Amino acid sequence: MKVQKISDNVHYVGVNDRTTDRFESLWPLPNGVSYNSYLVTGSDKSAIIDGVELSHALQQIDAVKSILGDRQPDYLVINHMEPDHSGAISLLRQAFPDLTIVGNAQALSMVEGFYGVTGNFLTVKEGDELSLGENVTLSFIMTPMVHWPETMVTYLRENKLAFSGDAFGCFGALNGAVVDTDMDTDRYFSEMIRYYSNIVGKYGVFVQKAIKKLDNIEIETICPTHGPVWHDRIEEVVGLYNRLSRYEPLTDGVTIVYGSMYGNTERMAEFVAEALADAGVRNISIRNAAKDDLSFIIADLFTNAGVVIASPTYSDTVFPPLAAVIDAMTLRGLVNRPTAVLGEYTWSPQAAKKITARLAECGITPVIEPISAKQSPTAEVLESCKTLAYALAGQLKKADTPS
CATH assignment of the domain containing 368: 3.40.50.360
- Let me know if residue 299 belongs to a domain: yes
Residues 179 and 320 both lie in one domain? no
Give the residues of the chain that fall short of pLDDT 50: 402-403
Number of domains in the chain: 2
**3-class secondary-structure state, position 4:** strand
Containing structural domain, residue 198: 4-245
- Count CB atoms within 10 A of the CB of residue 109: 15
Among 220, 245, 270, the domain boundary falls at: 245
User: Which residue, 20, 54, 14, is CA-closest to 37?
Assistant: 14
Residues 237 and 315 both lie in one domain? no
The helices-and-strands tally (H runs, E runs) of the chain is 12, 22
- Let me know if residue 119 belongs to a domain: yes
- Let me know if residue 337 belongs to a domain: yes
Among 245, 266, 292, the domain boundary falls at: 245
Please, are residues 269 and 308 in contact by the beta-carbon 8 Å criterion? Answer: yes
Q: Measure CA 322 to chain center.
A: 21
Q: According to the model, what pLDDT value does residue 398 have?
A: 81
In sequence order, what are the beta bridge partners of 374?
345
- Let me know if residue 309 belongs to a domain: yes
* pLDDT tens per residue, range 93-114: 999 999 999 999 999 999 999 9
Residues 87 and 166 both lie in one domain? yes
- CA-to-CA distance for 157 and 137, rounded, in angstroms? 6
- CA-to-CA distance for 53 and 41, rounded, in angstroms? 22
- Count CB atoms within 10 A of the CB of residue 69: 7
Residues 201 and 287 both lie in one domain? no
Please, are residues 40 and 47 in contact by the beta-carbon 8 Å criterion? Answer: yes
Residues 311 and 227 both lie in one domain? no
Residues 14 and 74 both lie in one domain? yes
- CA-to-CA distance for 398 and 163, rounded, in angstroms? 41
Return the H-helix or E-strand segment holding 103: strand 100-103
Residues 116 and 192 both lie in one domain? yes
Residues 27 and 153 both lie in one domain? yes
Q: According to the model, what pLDDT value does residue 2 have?
A: 67
Residues 342 and 219 both lie in one domain? no
Residues 298 and 207 both lie in one domain? no
In the chain, what is the greatest distance between 2 CA atoms, to the nearest angstrom?
Answer: 79
- CA-to-CA distance for 167 and 377, rounded, in angstroms? 46
CATH code: domain of residue 120: 3.60.15.10
- Let me know if residue 27 belongs to a domain: yes
- Let me know if residue 84 belongs to a domain: yes
Q: According to the model, what pLDDT value does residue 363 have?
A: 85
- Let me know if residue 398 belongs to a domain: no
- Let me know if residue 402 belongs to a domain: no
Residues 14 and 142 both lie in one domain? yes
Residues 155 and 19 both lie in one domain? yes
